[in-house]
């Protein structure tokens, strides 16, 4: 079954880099006007401009006219907590009334609130809730996603969460990567026995996760009041022994030392980066670790936005993602993330689109499969609303710029 998509107004993201984009390279978003794309067996089988279309249209099983559309690779959302039991709008009101994220966490809210609810929710129910969210994210243009555990915080509940993610992987039309985030917060019973909880992660959780193939990455919330750099280092080294690559939360609430410990352990990405001093910027830019910025989290918590321009200019490789979770970023909308990256972090539309596609793919080790328009990659495509200029996409924030989504060569509506 071969599909010809022809007369595409603009085909965006026609590239296949071997390494993440940096510096001025991030603003290069190769495009073809009046283009065609051939899709076969769910993958991109050919592309070019209409004047070079080699084949006779009769050889295609289906032809789709795309003269109305900008066609982009689907978004790669490389940081989410999509599996959770319940939303937390009551804490949202606490935040409006003036409580800080740290104050809410200290009074047993926040992550511990989500953990309590998740422990009480059945595996099937968690799966159903997560599946619906995943479908909704796909309709907004997400075509690859990373999902973390970390709302279990007991051996049993962390394994349950990871099994839910594994089941999502099995049934999902889009690729999913799983991160084990047992070190998300200290459970109440371990409040004065940090070493006891770390031992439970190292001795009970990690061996079972590895034996059952439940995770691709190990994540730690490296932050004052959560896991310090020495604890993070210990956890990442143990994760590596079990074949898990680090991908961590760093510098969300302060300059935590998370960037340094992540880079020293060869992290695939260090995520958040709201607080970056010169040392942490230089550490990141001199490494192959990707800095993943989460602007909808900064928006929701009224935190400073990560210094995207400084990071780009220092040569760091950056990506952007939603951080979708019930506490600090209750949105899985990558279109909003792209808009915020432009309006609040002064990223150019081309930089933001690269950061949300190919850079996110690198941050999930999925760059061979998704993240750009290249022969051999999945035909995971966004067809935008009619627009003359791609800058309209981040400019028209709050509007859904996605008209149709194709996953593995199949329209999702
Ligand atoms: O990425 N920072 C730590 N974890 C999440 C928040 C989790 C929560 O509040 O439930 C985040 O922002
Ligand atoms: Fe997060």
Q: Is 327 in the pocket of ligand 1 (CB under 6 A)?
A: yes
Q: Is 325 in the pocket of ligand 1 (CB under 6 A)?
A: yes
Supply the residue whose CA is at minimum distance from atom 8 of ligand 1: 327
Q: What pLDDT shows up at residue 363?
A: 99
275 phi/psi in degrees, rounded to 5: -115, 110
Q: What pLDDT shows up at residue 402?
A: 98
Q: Is 249 in the pocket of ligand 1 (CB under 6 A)?
A: yes
Q: What pLDDT shows up at residue 58?
A: 84
Q: What pLDDT shows up at residue 103?
A: 86
Q: Report the alpha-carbon distance of residue 304 to residue 214 in Å, rounded.
A: 34
3-state secondary structure 47-96: EEEHHHCCCCHHHCCEEEECCCCEEEECEEECCECCCCCCCCHHHHHHHH
177 phi/psi in degrees, rounded to 5: -115, 145
Pocket test for ligand 1, best of 185, 328, 329 (most atoms within 8 A of CB): 328
**Residues lying with their CB under 5 A of ligand 2, a single-atom ion:** 323
Q: Report the alpha-carbon distance of residue 143 to residue 405 in Å, rounded.
A: 9
Q: What pLDDT shows up at residue 139?
A: 98
Pocket test for ligand 1, best of 325, 326, 337 (most atoms within 8 A of CB): 325
Q: Quote the ligand 2 centre to 86 CA distance (angstroms).
A: 16
Q: Quote the ligand 2 centre to 246 CA distance (angstroms).
A: 14
Q: What pLDDT shows up at residue 105?
A: 76
Nearest C-alpha neighbor of 38 from the set 410, 401, 263, 375? 375
Supply the residue whose CA is at minimum distance from atom 9 of ligand 1: 327
Q: Quote the ligand 1 centre to 101 CA distance (angstroms).
A: 9
Pocket test for ligand 1, best of 82, 249, 301, 326 (most atoms within 8 A of CB): 249
Q: CA torsion angle for 130, 20, 307, 293 (degrees, to 10)?
A: 0
pLDDT tens track, the chain, 413 positions: 899 999 999 999 999 999 999 999 999 999 999 999 999 999 999 999 999 997 687 899 999 999 989 999 999 999 999 999 999 998 999 989 998 877 887 777 899 999 999 999 999 999 999 999 999 999 999 999 999 999 999 999 999 999 999 999 999 999 999 999 999 999 999 999 999 999 999 999 999 999 999 999 999 999 998 999 999 999 999 999 999 999 999 999 999 999 999 999 999 999 999 999 999 999 999 999 999 999 999 999 999 999 999 999 999 999 999 999 999 999 999 999 999 999 999 999 999 999 999 999 999 999 999 999 999 999 999 999 999 999 999 999 999 999 999 999 999 98
Neighbours of 87 (CB within 10 A): 13
Nearest C-alpha neighbor of 92 from the set 272, 325, 275? 325
What residue ranges define each of the domains in the chain, with the CATH number in brackets?
2-73+372-411 (2.30.40.10), 76-363 (3.20.20.140)
Q: Is 110 in the pocket of ligand 1 (CB under 6 A)?
A: yes
Q: Quote the ligand 1 centre to 325 CA distance (angstroms).
A: 7
Q: What pLDDT shows up at residue 56?
A: 82
Token duo for residue 194: 């940090």
Over residues 224-243, the pLDDT tens digits come to: 989 999 999 999 999 999 99
Q: Is 276 in the pocket of ligand 1 (CB under 6 A)?
A: no
Taking each helix axis from N to C end, the angle separating 334-345 and 349-356, rounded to the nearest 10 degrees, works out to 140
Q: Is 111 in the pocket of ligand 1 (CB under 6 A)?
A: yes
Q: Report the alpha-carbon distance of residue 116 to residue 371 in Å, rounded.
A: 36
Q: Is 229 in the pocket of ligand 1 (CB under 6 A)?
A: no
Return contacts of 238-244, CB within 8 angstroms, 24+ apart.
238/201, 238/202, 238/206, 239/180, 239/206, 240/265, 240/266, 242/206, 242/207, 242/209, 242/210, 242/218, 243/210, 244/180, 244/206, 244/209, 244/210, 244/215, 244/216, 244/217, 244/218
Question: Which residue stretches of 201-271 are H helix?
Answer: 206-211, 229-241, 258-264
**Which atom of ligand 1 approaches the CA of 252 most closely?**
2
């Amino acid at each position: 079954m071969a599909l010809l998509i022809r007369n595409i107004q603009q085909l965006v993201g026609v590239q296949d880099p071997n390494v993440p984009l940096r510096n001025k390279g991030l603003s290069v978003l190769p495009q073809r006007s009046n283009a065609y794309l051939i899709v076969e067996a769910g993958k991109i089988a050919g592309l070019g401009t209409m004047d070079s279309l080699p084949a006779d249209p009769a050889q295609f099983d289906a032809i789709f006219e795309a003269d109305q559309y900008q066609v982009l690779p689907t978004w790669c959302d490389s940081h989410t907590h999509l599996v959770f039991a319940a939303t937390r709008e009551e804490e949202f009101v606490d935040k409006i009334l003036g409580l800080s994220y740290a104050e809410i966490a200290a009074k047993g809210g926040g992550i511990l609130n989500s953990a309590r609810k998740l422990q009480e929710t059945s595996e099937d129910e968690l799966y159903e809730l997560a599946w619906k969210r995943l479908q909704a994210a796909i309709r907004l243009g997400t075509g690859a996603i990373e999902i973390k555990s970390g709302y279990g915080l007991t051996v049993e509940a962390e394994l349950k969460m990871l099994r839910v993610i594994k089941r999502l992987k099995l049934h999902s039309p889009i690729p999913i990567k799983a991160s084990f985030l047992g070190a998300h917060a200290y459970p109440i019973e371990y409040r004065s026995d940090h070493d006891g909880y770390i031992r439970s992660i190292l001795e009970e959780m990690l061996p079972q996760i590895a034996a059952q193939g439940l995770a691709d990455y190990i994540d730690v919330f490296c932050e004052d009041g959560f896991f310090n750099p020495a604890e993070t280092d210990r956890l990442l080294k143990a994760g590596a022994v079990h074949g898990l690559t680090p991908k961590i939360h760093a510098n969300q609430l302060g300059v935590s030392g998370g960037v340094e410990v992540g880079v020293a352990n060869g992290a695939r990405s260090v995520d958040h980066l709201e607080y970056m001093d010169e040392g942490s910027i230089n550490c990141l830019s001199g490494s192959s670790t990707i800095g993943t910025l989460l602007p909808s989290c900064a928006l929701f918590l009224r935190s400073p936005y990560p210094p995207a321009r400084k990071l780009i200019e220092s040569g760091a490789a950056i990506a952007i993602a939603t951080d979708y979770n019930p506490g600090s970023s209750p949105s899985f909308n990558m279109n909003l993330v792209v808009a915020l990256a432009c309006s609040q972090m002064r990223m150019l539309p081309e930089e933001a689109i690269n950061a949300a596609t190919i850079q996110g793919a690198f941050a999930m080790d999925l760059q061979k499969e998704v993240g750009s328009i290249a022969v051999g990659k999945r035909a995971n495509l966004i067809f935008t609303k009619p627009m003359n200029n791609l800058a309209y996409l981040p400019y028209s924030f709050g509007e859904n710029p996605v008209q149709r989504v194709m996953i593995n060569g199949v329209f999702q509506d």
